[in-house]
């Protein structure tokens, strides 16, 4: 493509889903080893942005030691006559997609939790400066999202600057999240769907309502609305909610129709407020995983940042892998932290009366939104299921009343950092592009279980 002639590596949709293992990486930016990292998009006035200006604060790629891991920030400023603050969230979410178009770049997660790797192979080909990545992003943004007329991009590897800017970023994320709080799903006629994660999880569609944030925790109902207005045929689109079929579980005819269409029939029914039956599917970039603990008949919650093992002896990566990939798995439910602040949170399962364990750091983030009487153990009160049982009994958790009923069987899989990546890039899925089509092989072993052929935009090829 002439658009990327001056870039030393290839750029295209075929590289989305490319995994870069530790032994093949030149450098790691952000990720689980780094305390501070962020990506942030801000809407600016036309005269505040110098179009396609790329700035690097701290060492550039060529100056970072081979195999090292460094703190990292991406700060993007956009301007245009239709650019407004409500477009920041969805524009920011595209960083993930566009970075992954670059041969030899892997980008996972979002916001305060980004994780990037550059491959040795692409580094040797000449991808040794953030300037190249910046140029690709600027061009993709302007060709894919025409409301962006001017864009400037700053890459930060200086640890002090990252600390300062990530603090600011956290405040901005919080302000965005707070905006939809207090609104009810009953009060709107339109929800929003997001298929940005379909390159990794072809049968996943996020349904974004005022009271259920996207799984990744970075697209609110307002963000969805703004995006669907400027780009209605894009990956974030309006869903007419249709008939309310079950108010408790959260089943809407419009959601069912939309997900059936967008997943080509793989998923045809979704219950929004439960982790059982027809739960909202889990992609790979959810902020946290709700996991059913059959021994106590309650849910544990674990977020991506939790480094230890949870109360059932399994780490986030293993639990995440058990639900990821656009599947509906009973008792494994990918969620955003913001959804935990919603009054609809796991409503059909009993809401907070069904939550029994979470990391202390997560509890701290949501404590203002928990009912006062809620009883939740953390790693400080219960390290094993037996300790959890004692804690729940001692504190008269409402679930204790139900312990006579028979438990439900659930089986998790895989372990370690590899599993953490696998959760974001489900191994059961392969994507290839050919002749302008994107071909996705689902659960392919000897033969493909299903082949999905999608037309790909010219600019993305
Ligand atoms: Zn996702």
In the reported structure, the alpha carbon of residue 411 is separated from the centroid of ligand 1 by a whole-number distance in angstroms of: 23
- Which numeric CATH code is attached to 200-205+244-423? 3.40.1470.10
DSSP state of 256: H
Checking if the pLDDT of 427 tops 50, the result is no
In the reported structure, the alpha carbon of residue 401 is separated from the centroid of ligand 1 by a whole-number distance in angstroms of: 36
DSSP state of 126: T
Checking if the pLDDT of 389 tops 50, the result is yes
In the reported structure, the alpha carbon of residue 283 is separated from the centroid of ligand 1 by a whole-number distance in angstroms of: 5
In the reported structure, the alpha carbon of residue 158 is separated from the centroid of ligand 1 by a whole-number distance in angstroms of: 29
Q: Report residue 440's pLDDT band, with 50, 70 and 90 as the boundaries.
A: low
In the reported structure, the alpha carbon of residue 14 is separated from the centroid of ligand 1 by a whole-number distance in angstroms of: 18
What class is the 2-179 domain? alpha beta
Checking if the pLDDT of 428 tops 60, the result is no
In the reported structure, the alpha carbon of residue 203 is separated from the centroid of ligand 1 by a whole-number distance in angstroms of: 11
Query: Which residues surround the ion ligand 1 when the cut-off is CB under 5 Å?
Result: 197, 216, 283, 285
Checking if the pLDDT of 151 tops 90, the result is yes
In the reported structure, the alpha carbon of residue 292 is separated from the centroid of ligand 1 by a whole-number distance in angstroms of: 21
In the reported structure, the alpha carbon of residue 130 is separated from the centroid of ligand 1 by a whole-number distance in angstroms of: 25
CA–CA gap between residue 424 and residue 433 (Å, rounded): 20
Query: CB under 8 Å to 4, separation ≥6 — which residues?
Result: 10, 11, 136, 139
Tell me whether strands 150-156 and 53-57 are parallel, antiparallel or unpaired. parallel
In the reported structure, the alpha carbon of residue 296 is separated from the centroid of ligand 1 by a whole-number distance in angstroms of: 29
Checking if the pLDDT of 460 tops 50, the result is no
In the reported structure, the alpha carbon of residue 206 is separated from the centroid of ligand 1 by a whole-number distance in angstroms of: 7
Average pLDDT, the chain: 90
Predicted confidence (pLDDT) per residue in 302-361, tens digit? 999 999 999 999 999 999 999 999 999 999 999 999 999 999 999 999 999 999 999 999
Q: What is the pLDDT of residue 431?
A: 46
Checking if the pLDDT of 426 tops 50, the result is no
In the reported structure, the alpha carbon of residue 100 is separated from the centroid of ligand 1 by a whole-number distance in angstroms of: 14
- Is the Cβ–Cβ distance between 406 and 310 less than 8 Å? no
**Predicted TM-score of the model (pTM):** 0.82
In the reported structure, the alpha carbon of residue 286 is separated from the centroid of ligand 1 by a whole-number distance in angstroms of: 6
In the reported structure, the alpha carbon of residue 336 is separated from the centroid of ligand 1 by a whole-number distance in angstroms of: 10
Structure tokens at 123: 């580094």
Helix or strand or coil: residue 1?
coil
- Is the Cβ–Cβ distance between 215 and 206 less than 8 Å? yes
Name the percent of the chain lying above pLDDT 70: 87
Q: Report residue 430's pLDDT band, with 50, 70 and 90 as the boundaries.
A: very low
**E-assigned strand segments in 310-360:** 332-335, 355-357
Strand partners, 151: 78
Query: CB under 8 Å to 155, separation ≥6 — which residues?
Result: 54, 55, 56, 57, 72, 73, 74, 130, 133, 134
Q: What is the pLDDT of residue 404?
A: 73
Decide if 2-179 and 200-205+244-423 have a common fold: no
Measured at the alpha carbon of residue 51, what is the angle toward residues 45 and 57, in degrees to the nearest 5?
A: 95
Checking if the pLDDT of 207 tops 60, the result is yes
Measured at the alpha carbon of residue 274, what is the angle toward residues 292 and 185, in degrees to the nearest 5?
A: 145
In the reported structure, the alpha carbon of residue 139 is separated from the centroid of ligand 1 by a whole-number distance in angstroms of: 24
In the reported structure, the alpha carbon of residue 224 is separated from the centroid of ligand 1 by a whole-number distance in angstroms of: 14
Q: What is the pLDDT of residue 10?
A: 97
- Is the Cβ–Cβ distance between 275 and 347 less than 8 Å? no
CA–CA gap between residue 311 and residue 386 (Å, rounded): 9
Query: CB under 8 Å to 329, separation ≥6 — which residues?
Result: 279, 282, 322, 323
Predicted confidence (pLDDT) per residue in 71-85, tens digit? 999 999 999 999 999
Give the mean model confidence (pLDDT) for residues 242-247.
97
In the reported structure, the alpha carbon of residue 419 is separated from the centroid of ligand 1 by a whole-number distance in angstroms of: 16
Q: What is the pLDDT of residue 442?
A: 53
Give the mean model confidence (pLDDT) for residues 258-286.
96
In the reported structure, the alpha carbon of residue 447 is separated from the centroid of ligand 1 by a whole-number distance in angstroms of: 27
Domain range summary for the chain, segments of one domain joined by +: 2-179, 200-205+244-423, 428-460
Give the mean model confidence (pLDDT) for residues 51-64.
98
Location of structure tokens 């005819």 = 253
- Is the Cβ–Cβ distance between 410 and 294 less than 8 Å? yes
Strand partners, 72: 37
- Is the Cβ–Cβ distance between 194 and 208 less than 8 Å? yes
- Is the Cβ–Cβ distance between 183 and 225 less than 8 Å? no
């Amino acid at each position: 493509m002439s658009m990327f002639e001056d870039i030393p590596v290839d750029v295209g949709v075929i590289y989305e889903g490319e995994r870069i293992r530790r032994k093949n990486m030149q450098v790691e930016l952000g990720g689980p080893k780094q305390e501070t990292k962020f990506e942030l998009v801000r809407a600016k006035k036309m005269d505040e942005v110098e179009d396609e200006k790329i700035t690097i604060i701290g060492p550039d790629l060529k100056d970072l030691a081979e195999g090292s891991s460094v703190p990292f920030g991406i700060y993007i400023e956009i301007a245009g006559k239709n650019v407004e603050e409500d477009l920041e969230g969805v524009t920011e979410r595209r960083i993930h997609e566009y970075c992954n178009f670059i041969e030899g770049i892997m980008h996972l997660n979002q916001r305060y939790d980004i994780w990037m790797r550059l491959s040795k192979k692409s580094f040797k080909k000449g991808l040794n400066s953030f300037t190249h990545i910046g140029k690709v992003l600027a061009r993709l943004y302007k060709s894919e999202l025409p409301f962006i007329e001017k864009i400037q991009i700053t890459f930060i590897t200086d640890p002090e600057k990252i600390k300062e800017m990530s603090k600011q970023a956290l405040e901005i994320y919080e302000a965005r999240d707070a905006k939809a709080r207090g609104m009810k799903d009953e009060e709107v006629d339109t929800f929003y769907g997001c298929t940005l994660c379909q390159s990794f999880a072809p049968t996943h569609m996020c349904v974004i309502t005022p009271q259920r944030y996207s799984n990744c925790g970075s697209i609110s109902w307002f963000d969805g609305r703004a995006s669907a207005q400027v780009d209605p045929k894009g990956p974030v689109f309006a869903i007419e909610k249709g008939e309310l079929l079950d108010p408790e579980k959260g089943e809407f005819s419009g959601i069912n129709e939309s997900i059936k269409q967008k997943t080509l029939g793989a998923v045809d029914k979704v219950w929004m407020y439960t982790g059982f039956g027809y739960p909202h599917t889990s992609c790979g970039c959810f902020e946290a995983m709700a996991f059913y603990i059959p021994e106590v008949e309650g849910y544990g919650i674990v977020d991506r940042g939790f480094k230890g093992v949870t109360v059932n002896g399994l780490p986030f990566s293993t639990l995440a892998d058990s639900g990821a990939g656009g599947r509906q798995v009973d008792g494994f439910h990918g969620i955003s932290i913001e959804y935990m602040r919603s009054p609809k949170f796991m409503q059909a399962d009993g809401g907070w009366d069904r939550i029994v364990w979470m990391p202390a750091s997560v509890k701290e983030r949501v404590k203002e939104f928990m009912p006062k009487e809620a009883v939740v153990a953390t790693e400080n009160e219960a390290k094993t299921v037996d300790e959890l049982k004692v804690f729940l009994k001692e504190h008269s958790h409402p679930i204790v009343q139900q312990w006579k009923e028979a438990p439900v069987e659930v089986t998790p899989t895989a372990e370690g950092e590899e599993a953490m990546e696998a959760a974001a890039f489900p191994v059961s899925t392969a994507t290839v592009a050919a002749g302008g089509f994107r071909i996705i092989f689902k659960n392919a072993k000897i033969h493909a279980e299903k082949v999905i052929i999608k037309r790909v935009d010219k600019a993305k090829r």
